[in-house]
Every structure is written in structure tokens, then in C-alpha cells.
Structure 1
Amino acid sequence: MMHLKEVVNATSLKQFLELPALINQANANYIHPLNKDIESVFDRLKNPFFANGDCIRWNLYELDNRVIGRIAAFYHFDDKIGEYTGGFGFFECIDNQQAANLLFNQAKNWLLSKGIAQMDGPINFGTRDQWWGLLIDGYYPPVYGMFYHPPYYQKLFQNFSFDILFKQYTYRRKINTDFSPAMLRRANRVLNDSNYRFSDISLLSKKEIINNFREVYNAAWKDFDGVNSLSEAEIAEIIAHMSPVMDKKIIWFAYYKQQPIGFFINLPDLNQLLVKFLRNGSLNIWQKIRFLYRKTFRKSSTIVGMVFGVHPSYQGRGVESAMILMFAKSIAQLGSEAYTEIQMNWIGDFNKRMIAVLESISAEKYKTHCTYRLTF
């Protein structure tokens, strides 16, 4: 008989962390995430979402105590809508609807006991840039911060009567792909205006990076549901998390009369730097040395587009096209060790403007993740 147990000790934690590799052992495209990154989500000292929320997680076992599923449930106070919201994530399960139902119902009932009336998932107990959405199309190797899910997971969700809340697309573009004449005309109109300037962050201080990002982000994303403004401390934490793999030449800002009006935040794909060395979600000292060597000599051919934004006052003027063009030219100038492609994650189906920008530069829709909602 299947039964659930809360993750409360070293043994159950090890089972929770290792289950995805067991589920995906036959999937050649699966890449195991770093255990420390997963655990940071559940660390009350590291995750600020615990300040106004809580989280719990369970493993699901067969009668012989073989682990066959896992799930986490959580809630936090959403300042933007002024109420508590519930979710679940880190779902893994064998191809068994009864097992999946037990996991979903456990999360649902725990949230009900906390007075929460709906749950979204699979999502992160944290920001949207990582561990968010169910992969439903484009079963290619995941980039860093994204889960890989077997195709049968979609059936497990659909059979539990979840509704689709929204889809998130990953767009992919080869760096050396030619831009269309129309895109070049839009970009050049902006580039011919000396009031505009575009540059990477090589010469910026940490304080300048934080302030520039905050000014644009809080203006550009304020009207999107589920996206809250970021404080200086929250942005500093994001920058600190990015620092070990940051390449300053692929993080760009746009300015108008010296005021920041746009950003294009990218990272090398950490999964390409880890995939040959990762063992059970951890790196030993020699693997860390090899990772640093590969990072230093740019052995990742893929750039991961983390977030792109333009201040609403400057949208539709060609700033997006100009920033992308300048960015692409700079990457091409890096020579034989240059990156060859960019994957731009987390393009919500509701973000019509960004979808139009990406399609205008001949980016292809490469993967689709889905966020579901269940109202109790």
C-alpha cells in the first residue's frame, strides 16, 4: 500500500533529492540539478519567502518503502494582491495516476488546512526565474534552473482536473542568424539617436547594477499578475546567486540620456558546465576545479536569457531591437570561443509584446512549460 511521509531527516531528504534521477534514468536528456540549489529553496535562513509563508514536503513510498514520488506544498503572502497564495512544486512521480493523486491531494489538503482556496503548480517557493512550470513540449536537455519532466507527467496533471493557468515558452536563436531588414531598420533608428546608449556591465559597480536593474524591472513588470516589485536587498541576493557563473559581457543595459531604460540579463548555461562532472547532485573538489576551468575558458556554447525588459515609456520605439542587435554584435566579436546560441526562458503566453520581439528576430519556439491551477 502506498503511503506518504514528511521529509524530516537525512534519509528522507536524500530520497527526495535523488528521486528525479531515478525517475529519469532512461531519459538521455535529463540533467540532475545541484542539490544545494534545491535545498536553498527549503532553507529558512536563505529563502525570504519564509518570512511571510511556510512550506512542507513529502515522499511517497510503496509498501516495500521504495520511494516512488515526491511533492512540496507552500504558501506566502502576496503583497501585490494583498492575500495569501498557495502552490506546490518539485513534483516527481512514477507513471501511476493513483500515486500522483495521492501527492496532489496531500498538497491540496495541507493548503486547505491553512485556509488557502487554490493552488498553482508546479511552481517554485520563490521567484519565477527557476524551478517553474511543467515541461509539456520540447523534451531537450534543460538549461540551468529548469526541470526536465517525462512526457507522461502531463497526463497525470490533466487527469486530476487542473486548469491551465498559463504557458511559458523558451525561444531559441542561433547567434549568427541574420536579422530581418525590418528589424535592422527599427534598431538603426534608435542607434542613430545619440541620446541612446547600450553597453555591458563590465565597468559598472555592484551598486550601479542593482540600482539600474531595480529601476527598470519595477517599472516594466509592475502590470503583470503574480510579479511583485523587487527591493534592493532582493536584487542583491539575485546578483549574489548569479555571481559564480556571471559573464559580464553578456549582461546589458540600455540608457536614454544616461537613465537606465532597459536590460538584457543572461548567463552561460551552467548545465553545460556541469553535465560531465555532476554526481548525484554534488560536486567534489576536483569537479569544482574542472568546472572553474571550463567556466574561465567559456566552454558553454549556450547563453540562457534570464530576463529582458524595457521601461514602458520606451517600449515600441525600437529599443528592444537596438539592444538585441548590439548584444549580438558583441557576442560575434568574441571569436572562436564565442557562444553560438541563446535560449530565452520564461516568456509567458500573456507577454504578447515580448513574443512579437522574439519572433521578429527569427527566434524559434523551442520548449513549452505549463503552470496549472486547481481551485478547491
Structure 2
Amino acid sequence: MTDAKISIETISDKRGRARFVDVGRAFAAKTPNSVPQLRSEQLELVNPDKNPFFGHARAQFFIAHRGGHPVGRISAHIDDLALNMPAEQGFGPGTGMFGYFDAEDKDVTDILIETAETWLRDHGMTRIVGPISLSIWEEPGLLVQGQNHPPMIMMGHHPAEYAGWIEAAGYARAKTLYTYDLDITKEFNPLIRRIVKSGERNDRINVRPVRKDRWDEEADIILSILNDAWSDNWGFVPFTPDEVAYAGKKLKTIIHEDLNMIAEVDGKPVAFMLTFPDINDALTRIDGKLFPFGWLHMLRWLKKPRGSGMRVPLMGVLKEMHNSRLASQLAFMMISYIRVHATGQFESTRGELGWVLDDNQGMVAIAEMIDSEINREYAIYEKPLAS
């Protein structure tokens, strides 16, 4: 196959975005252990009129064709908030991104990546990182280890050969993200149980479930802590008020109060931990289709996701408490309470933590202390863009 046989379609309208989404769905359908997602949700993420990410970002979508058939896709995007972050935190001035990458082979990969690089270079970018689809808060990274089992909610899944094709295009790994697998039927070790009991005797500490009847207020608390707690992390981009409202509305349907905790010290919210039942369990059963009868199964699952895996995608402690004994104590208390509720109320047996940055020593230490093991590894790549 030669490059001359590959053409690139530049997406410019609603129908094009639908084709872009459907190309990704076709690749996912033939990738072992991939989980079919709801098409309506995928369409919304790439719609500038629906996704508030576009309030501070620009994106261009491309589809590769060969012989009249789609053989790959890619996005190129620029996040103005990311441009304003310090360069040492991963993004910074001149840094554009690519995402939503799928390709039939290396030839297609080369053309797609060259197309994304050209678009970013033409828009003044001097460096490219990815894959990040589209926001760092959505599906960051390329799966490089862990293809032998399905992903949990809001985690990407990619064929093993993608890594080699991207690296052959001149990309080096900028950051590694881990997810950790945990058997939640097992009691935590005696040390952690003592730490939790000590916290329960401390009158200054109150660890409580979120309240769904005032969810908008709770979401504001959680995301304000998140913006503070993660502000020095690699890849951090702050949530905007519109994104806070959007995320809160989206998350409400999968929030169960006893699976999500806010920790208070002296009456002030200082930490949180979110836990989502793995909706991929339900999506697998309905093949990602709500009609004709998938919606009924989904409603039942949302009400009581019995036996589903549980993923902790986000937790945070205010920066003023980082590296303190109290911070880790609050984390262990929240994890412990959530484990009890997940196994008791929902009959869950498995949990997953992450993603976790490979150099986040605090979170890595917590994951190791509760005897969890790395089960998936994601890579974010980078490359300078020559002028």
C-alpha cells in the first residue's frame, strides 16, 4: 500500500462528526475486549454546541480513506487553558494535542499524524502531545498494557500495535498513567484499620456521603477541591464553571450516595472521593444500544448496579494538606467506607483506582498499601513540531 492511495477528509459539519464517531465505533467493534459506548454520548463530546470544552478550545477532526473506505481517524486540538499552564506541568505555551486516534495500519497512522501535526503547526503550535480525547479529564493516554480485559467506565481501550506505530512516527513517552485493580472483598490490613479507627476518634474529622438531593452544591464542593488539589499535577487543566455544571449534570445519573464521600475537618470540606459503578457492564449487555429494549435494562442497572465493578476515577485533598498524615488518613477512611458499601449494598467484588500518574508518590503509596495491583498502563506521547 502506498501513501498515494490514502486521502484525508476534513470534517466540517454535523454529518461529518457523525461519520467521525462511527469510524471510531467500527474500530472499537473489532478490537477484542472493547466495550460499545452510547453513540449519543460520543456525538455530544465532539459537538461544539454541547461540550463546554469547546468554550476554551478549538478542534479539527479528520478521517482517512483508502479505496473508498474509512481506514482511520484523528483529532487535532488546542486548549487555550492548557496553553496558559506552566510548561513543566506537561502543557504550556505552544503545546497542541492529538486524540481520537484509530488506524488500520502504519501507513494510515503516518498520514493521520502528519495531518494533525500540520494543522497544529499552521495554528502556531510548536509541540504536540497525545493521544488526549479531547480533554485531559475525558480519555487521556494510549493503552499500552492491559488489552486482555475490558476497560472500566471512562477509560480508553486500544489495540497493542498502536503504540509502535505512534513511536515510529517520532514520538517519545511524556507521561505514564496507571490504573490499579483491587479485590474489595478482602479486609484491609491491620495498619490501615488502625488508621481508620484513629480518624473516627478524632472529633475534628467528619467523613460523610454526598447528598444527592443537593447534588449541584456537592458537585461545586467536589470540583473546587479538585481544582485546588490537582493544580500542581502534570497535565492539570482547571475546570471552568460551565464544565463544572456540565460534569455535575452528567454524573448525577450514576451517583449513589454511599459510594461517594466528602471529608470535612473542623466543618470545612477538605477532601473527596468519587466512585462510579462500572456502566460498561451494562453497555456490554445491551451492545451500546438503548433501543429497542436496552433503555429498560439501563434504567434497572442505574437504580441498582448489583455486582458491578467499582471505579474510583477521582479523589483529592486540598493542597494545604498535601504530604500530611491527616491527608492519607482521610483517604484511607473514605476508601474503607466505600469498600464496605460497595460490597454490602451492591455485592461488588472488584474495584479499580485511577488513573494515577506514575510519579504521584502519595497515590502510588496508597494504592500499594491497600494491596492493589497495576492492571492497565496508558502512555501520553510528545514530539516537537519542526517549523
Same fold (TM over 0.5): yes
Q: How big is the shift at 1:25?
A: 4.3
Across the two proteins, how many residue pairs are aligned to each other? 369
Instruction: Give the superposed CA RMSD.
Output: 2.1
The residue aligned with 1:68 is 71
Q: How big is the shift at 1:348?
A: 1.0
Matching of residue 287 in structure 1 with residue 297 in structure 2: no
Matching of residue 77 in structure 1 with residue 80 in structure 2: yes
Matching of residue 230 in structure 1 with residue 239 in structure 2: yes
Matching of residue 55 in structure 1 with residue 59 in structure 2: yes
**Structure 1 stretches of 5 or more lacking a match?**
none
Counterparts of residues 125-164 of structure 1 (less than 5 Å):
125-126=134-135, 128-139=136-147, 140-164=149-173
For residues 30 and 94 of structure 2, what CA distance do their matches in structure 1 show? 39
Identity, % of aligned positions? 20
User: CA contact under 8 A between 1:214 and 1:231: conserved in structure 2?
Assistant: no
Q: How big is the shift at 1:225?
A: 3.2
For residues 207 and 149 of structure 1, what CA distance do their matches in structure 2 show? 34
Q: What SS does the corresponding residue of 2:325 show, helix, strand or coil?
A: coil
User: CA contact under 8 A between 2:36 and 2:283: conserved in structure 1?
Assistant: no
User: CA contact under 8 A between 2:184 and 2:351: conserved in structure 1?
Assistant: yes
Q: 1:325 aligns with which of 319, 333, 336?
A: 336
Q: What SS does the corresponding residue of 2:194 show, helix, strand or coil?
A: helix
Counterparts of residues 55-204 of structure 1 (less than 5 Å):
55-62=59-66, 64-78=67-81, 79-81=84-86, 83=93, 85-94=95-104, 96-126=105-135, 128-139=136-147, 140-202=149-211
| TM-score normalised per structure 2 | 0.89
For residues 215 and 10 of structure 1, what CA distance do their matches in structure 2 show? 34
Q: How big is the shift at 1:144?
A: 2.1
Change (3 A) 1:203 1:50: closer
The residue aligned with 1:365 is 374
Q: List per-residue Cα deviations over 1:98-126 (Å, max 9, x = no partner).
A: 21010000000000000011111110222
User: CA contact under 8 A between 2:142 and 2:378: conserved in structure 1?
Assistant: yes
The residue aligned with 2:89 is none
User: CA contact under 8 A between 2:17 and 2:46: conserved in structure 1?
Assistant: no
Q: How big is the shift at 1:203?
A: 6.2
User: CA contact under 8 A between 2:52 and 2:246: conserved in structure 1?
Assistant: no
Q: What SS does the corresponding residue of 1:324 show, helix, strand or coil?
A: helix
User: CA contact under 8 A between 2:310 and 2:351: conserved in structure 1?
Assistant: yes
For residues 327 and 244 of structure 1, what CA distance do their matches in structure 2 show? 18
For residues 212 and 10 of structure 2, what CA distance do their matches in structure 1 show? 48
Q: 2:215 aligns with which of 182, 185, 206?
A: 206
Change (3 A) 1:360 1:368: same
Q: What SS does the corresponding residue of 2:75 show, helix, strand or coil?
A: strand
| TM-score normalised per structure 1 | 0.91
Q: Which moved more, 1:78-87 or 1:168-177?
A: 78-87
Q: How big is the shift at 1:368?
A: 0.5
Q: 1:244 aligns with which of 234, 243, 253?
A: 253
Matched residue type, 1:294: W
Q: How big is the shift at 1:20?
A: 3.5
